[in-house]
Structure formats: C-alpha cells, structure tokens
Structure 1
Amino acid sequence: MSRRLNMRVAFLLLGIVLAAYLAVSYFLVPELWLFHDDRRKVPLNPMVTSTEQGIPGDPINVGLVGSKEQIIRAFNAAGWDAADKVTLRSSVDIGLSVVLDRPDLDAPVSPLFYEGRKQDLAFEKPVGRSADQRNHVRFWQTPTPAEGDGPLWLGSASFDRGVGLSHDTGQITHHIGPDLDAERDLVIGDLKKAGQVSSTYEVPGVGATKTGRNGGGDPYFTDGKALVGVLRPAAVGSGAGIAK
C-alpha cells in the first residue's frame, strides 16, 4: 500500500511540475518578453520575421519567383519535403522521431510571421535519420513586383542543429545554426542542381550583422542579402537545363 501511495504522490508531483513548466514557458515568460525584450524597443526590421508573441525571428534571406505549384514541384524535384502543419499528432511524431532517432520526413516547423501572416509554405531536408537536424525554409507570398513570370515569395532559410529549450522562454524548440548565408545558398543551390531555376538576383535583406539573434535566442550572422531564384515555367527533369 505504501509503495502504491508513493507512486501516486510521485505522479502527482510530476504532473504539477509539468503543468508549472507549461504555464511558465508557454504563457508567463512570452508575455513578459513583450515588455522586457530590448529588441522590441525599436521598430521591427521589414526583412525580419517574428514569433507569435512579436519577438523578432529569423531574417528574410531567400526568395522565389513563381506560382505555388511551381514552388512545390521545384522542391519535390530537389529532394525536399513539404513540412506538415503543427498539430498534436505531428508534434508527437516529431518528438518520437528525435527521441527514437527515426525518420519524420514531413515534420512540422514552428510558425513564424511576416507582415502579420504565418508562413504560406514550408519545406525541409533532414540531416541524418531523425528530425533533430534538418535544413528548412519558410515562404510567404508577397504583392511585391518581381523579375520573372509569377509572384515574389520571400523566405527565411536556416539550419536546425538540434532540439533544445529556447534561450528566451524555455519552450521546446529547434536551435538554428549561426550561418544563415550558407543555408540560403544551399536552398537555391539544390533548386539549381535540380534544374528548377532559370536565373537568380539579390535584393536587400536585413543588412549585414554578426550579432543577430532570433526568436529562440539563437545567435546568427549574415551578409544581409536575400538571394532570389526565378523558377522555370515548366517542370524540368533533374539534371536537365541546370542554371549557371
């Protein structure tokens, strides 16, 4: 009887600790950041995304010109997978993928906001067996005029180097690698290798910085430019018509 009672007490304490963690990390601390985050004391850079709490997130560093269908087809040809939406099921799946070191090719990516909207599209390419490390990119369709045939989609590409706790809120999150330019070049490079890009050009981004910090508190550096790829108007087989 005493052993059973001890088990009940242990589970009760565990439940209390878990509830306290969720309340502090997902409700209390994010609200406190609204008042104490120094990054909110200046207007948000127009080429920086934000978290749901309004904390500056990953900068815009990549873009594509083309239709939604072209983008989906292009990433499929390049060997990238579309990310799933964040649901209870997809959250459990990515957690099991990391813990059990098993694949989750369409693992969800957390929502980021650009001009008040959550990403329209997101793609990923795992590094290793699980979703612990991965290349990933989010895209938002914009009304901005573009060079080429189709709308301009601005995106934020970064490398997830592992799962951990946010430096700012304590929430469970992926931590990004600091070299955002390398990830930007990888995204466009993979699309080029798959023969999906006809040309590229640069647009001003967040501006050069060696001391950037995203919504999870992860440091980053960048030359501050966004590389835009103009997609080919029709599907092209891998290895054919590769852009120079």
Structure 2
Amino acid sequence: MLVAYLLVAYFFIPEIWIHRDAGRIGEFGPMVTTTEQDIPGDPINVGLVGSKEDVLRAFASAGWDPADKITLRTSAEIGLSVMLDRPDLDAPVSALLFEGRKQDLAFEKAVGKSADERHHVRFWLTRSTGADGRPLWLGSASFDRGVGFSHDTGQITHHIAPDVDAERGLIIGDLQKAGQLSSTYEIPGIGATKTGRNGGGDPYFSDGKAMIGVLRGLATP
C-alpha cells in the first residue's frame, strides 16, 4: 500500500497536473513561482533592496530564523517537531522555482510549539537593482496553517492560509518595527485574484501587488 501511495502521489498525479496547469502560468505572467513539476506555486508578493548581508541582518533583527536546507536529517526533524509538538525554529521549507531557480534564501517565524504552523518567506536574487544600486530580491510570503495532504496530488505538505497579502504585511511590518527599512514602494505582481491556487492545491486571494522594502545598509543613518 505504501509503495502504491508513493507512486500515485509523487509520480502519476503530478504528471496529470503538469498538463492540466501548463497554461495557468501564463495567466499570472512572470510574478508567480512554480513547483519542481512546473505547477504554479505561491505568488511573488514581497521584495527587498539590499545586499545578502543586509537581508540576513534585517531578518535576524526582526526575530526571524533562516530556514535549513532540506536533507534527510532536517526532514526527520520537522516530522518529529509536528508529531511530538516540539519546536524546530529553523525547519526546512520546500523548494519553489522563480525564473527557473530554487530560492536563494528562506526565513521563518515560529507560531505555537511546533513547525506545524509558521510564517515563512522565500527570496530569489534578481538581476535588477534598486535606485541605490543594491540588488533587488523578490520573494513569496505565506502562512503555513498546518501539515496535511496536497489537495491535488495527495503528497504530504504544509497548507497555506489564503490571505497571502496579510503575510506580506507582517513581514514588512516586522522589518519596520525592527528599524530595518528606510522606505517602501509597490510594484505590480500577479494581478488581483480571488481564485488563486498554489502547487499544493491551496486557494489564495491577493490584491496582486508586491511590496518592496528598501533595507538600511550599514552606512545608512
């Protein structure tokens, strides 16, 4: 039974969704992530201007932890965290692709006693820069509301809360409270939607914008 489940959930059904959702990526334009099976994932809804060191320092100051990479050890640790209801502050996040690449950085903020629920964001370094010449990082932020089975494939996954704009606001707000932002501005994202669906089949809604925060560098007063 286990072998049959693995074959169906991780091989056969994803192939069906790849063909079904092939045209959906075009609906959102370039501002949406994809799974490794090329299924549309979470929307790009946040960004930062600053060096990698600026980003790491800002999230540390705001009380967020960098997420571990997925390995056999970290996968076992997050599983035990959920089953035993114990903390895993740097639990791994799954890989999503943007512009054909996996995330460069990921951060999370714990909620409750385990990794079952958490705030989290992935960031990709882009070729664009801010007005000050520092790199632009684009990110996808969402709230993991619990572990379960994918609505589309049956794979084990975190389910996200539908209001992805709220998570965007939390991240920008936390960075502002920590004194890490000098300014913010908006850019177009996926466009307003009430019927979004990510790679796990979770519904989401958004005003379709991405909020960009300009980080204070070491020399910024």
> Over residues 8-46 of structure 1, what are the superposed CA-to-partner deviations in whole Å (9 max), with x where a residue is unaligned?
xxxxxxxxx111111111111111222233754846620
Q: Does 1:45 align with 2:29?
A: yes
> Over residues 165-221 of structure 1, what are the superposed CA-to-partner deviations in whole Å (9 max), with x where a residue is unaligned?
001111000000000111001001101111111100000000011111111110101
Partners of 1:90 and 1:60 in 2: CA distance: 26
Partners of 2:132 and 2:178 in 1: CA distance: 19
Task: Name the residue aligned to 1:136.
Answer: 120
Partners of 1:123 and 1:155 in 2: CA distance: 11
Which structure is higher in RCO with an 8 Å CA cutoff and minimum separation 6? 2
Higher strand share: 2
- State how 1:14-53 maps to structure 2 within 5 Å: 17-37=1-21, 39-40=23-24, 42=26, 45-53=29-37
> Which of 201, 204, 215 pairs up with 1:231?
215
Tell me if structure 2 keeps the 8 A contact 1:159–1:183. Answer: yes
Partners of 1:148 and 1:198 in 2: CA distance: 12
Task: Name the residue aligned to 1:115.
Answer: 99
TM-score (norm 2): 0.96
- State how 1:1-244 maps to structure 2 within 5 Å: 17-37=1-21, 39-40=23-24, 42=26, 45-234=29-218
Cα pair distance change 1:108/1:95, threshold 3 Å: same
**Unpaired runs of at least 5, structure 2:** none
Cα pair distance change 1:138/1:26, threshold 3 Å: same
TM-score (norm 1): 0.87
Partners of 2:130 and 2:11 in 1: CA distance: 40
Q: Say how many residue pairs are matched.
A: 221
Partners of 2:207 and 2:109 in 1: CA distance: 24
**Unpaired runs of at least 5, structure 1:** 1-16
Task: Name the residue aligned to 1:11.
Answer: none
Identity %: 72
Cα pair distance change 1:75/1:42, threshold 3 Å: closer
Partners of 1:203 and 1:148 in 2: CA distance: 17
Query: SS of the residue aligned with 1:95?
Result: helix
Shift of 1:158: 0.2
Tell me if structure 1 keeps the 8 A contact 2:49–2:129. Answer: no
Q: Which is higher, the Rg of structure 1 or of structure 2?
A: 1
Task: Name the residue aligned to 1:8.
Answer: none
Cα pair distance change 1:41/1:202, threshold 3 Å: closer
Tell me if structure 2 keeps the 8 A contact 1:73–1:235. Answer: no
> Over residues 151-176 of structure 1, what are the superposed CA-to-partner deviations in whole Å (9 max), with x where a residue is unaligned?
00000000000000001111000000
Partners of 2:132 and 2:145 in 1: CA distance: 34
